[in-house]
A and B are shown apart, each in its own frame.
Chain A
Amino acid sequence: SQTIHQWPATLVQPVGSPLSLECTVEGTSNPNLYWYRQAAGRGLQLLFYSIGIDQISSEVPQNLSASRPQDRQFILSSKKLLLSDSGFYLCAWTILDGPSSYNEQFFGPGTRLTVL
């Protein structure tokens, strides 16, 4: 069966410090991977998605970047955190089985980031 892991579960970082959040998927190959952020009391905002190794698309301009060095590894980074980067970060995966299809997204447990 497929599983998705995220770490760390919680993180408290000072403003201006770097960030690295990791997401890994097991039990599947060539998944589409996503990073979302959920600010307090808000809906989920799609940050990045990836359809393959080193193929990253950014949805919104921001202080963050993403990388996919391996098929089942997705990393969210920042060189200098801002207060506004605080939130709940979720990684998700899906497999698309055709040229035009909609498939369920599976979410990881999330990382709660607090920037002070």
Chain B
Amino acid sequence: LAKTTQPISMDSYEGQEVNITCSHNNIATNDYITWYQQFPSQGPRFIIQGYKTKVTNEVASLFIPADRKSSTLSLPRVSLSDTAVYYCLVGDIVVRYGGSQGNLIFGKGTKLSVKP
């Protein structure tokens, strides 16, 4: 399972674009890259997932270079409510019918603090 490295914390101001980069040098061919957001005392919430190039949804964009050894979560025009911990996960849950499956490992994440 690929290990990920993220900055421990980041600060930003309301209205700015925030980019959080995650390194995953040992990413495997079948691995997807997924980002979760977690508010204090709540479970993580899925933000975005991608395999290569760029993925965009209503809340974020995910940029993945050709070598896939890193990825960048981009949050446009952050607000105070975006203050949270952001986790980058790399993995492939493979179902082997009748057997076991892989697992997900959440690192410590990046604590984003948005200031007014």
Q: Assess the B43–A92 pair: CB atoms within 8 A.
A: yes
Proximity string of chain B (20-51) to chain A, C-beta cutoff 8 Å, 1 when within and 0 when not: 00000000001010100000011111100100
Expressed in whole angstroms, the Cα–Cα distance for A112 and B44 within the complex equals 15
A49 CB contact (under 8 Å) in B91, B101, B106? B101
The complex places the Cα of A3 from the Cα of B55 at a distance, in Å, of 27
Give Cα A106 to B95, complex, Å.
18
Dominant secondary structure at the B interface: loop
- What range describes how many residues of A lie at the interface? 20 to 34
- List the B side residues contacting A110 at CB < 8 Å: 41-43
Closest residue of chain A to B43 (Cβ to Cβ) is A107
Q: Which residues from B are CB-within-8-Å of A36?
A: 106
A59: chain B residues within 8 A (beta carbon):
103
Q: Which of B34, B49, B95, B107 contacts A99 (CB 8 A)?
A: B95
Q: Is A100 a contact partner of B43 (Cβ separation < 8 A)?
A: no
**Total B residues in contact with A, Cβ cutoff 8 Å:** 27
> Using a Cβ cutoff of 8 Å, how many contacts connect chains A and B?
69
Cross-chain contact B87 with A43 (CB below 8 angstroms):
yes
Nearest CB of chain A from residue B27's CB, rounded to whole Å: 13
Complex alpha-carbon distance, A99 and B44, angstroms: 25
In the complex, A87 Cα to B34 Cα: how many Å? Answer: 24
B57 at the interface (CB under 8 A from A): no
The reply to whether B100 and A51 form a contact with Cβ atoms under 8 Å apart is yes
Q: How far is the CA of A55 from the CA of B49 in the complex (A)?
A: 28
- Contact A102 B92, CB 8 Å, known A32-B101, A43-B87, A43-B109: yes
Using a CB–CB cutoff of 8 Å, the interface residues on chain B facing chain A are 30, 32, 34, 41-46, 49, 87, 91-97, 100-101, 103-109
Known contacts A44-B106, A102-B91, A106-B46, then 11 further A-B pairs from the complex at CB < 8 Å, ordered by chain A residue: A43-B106, A45-B106, A46-B103, A46-B105, A49-B101, A57-B100, A88-B41, A94-B93, A96-B101, A100-B92, A100-B95
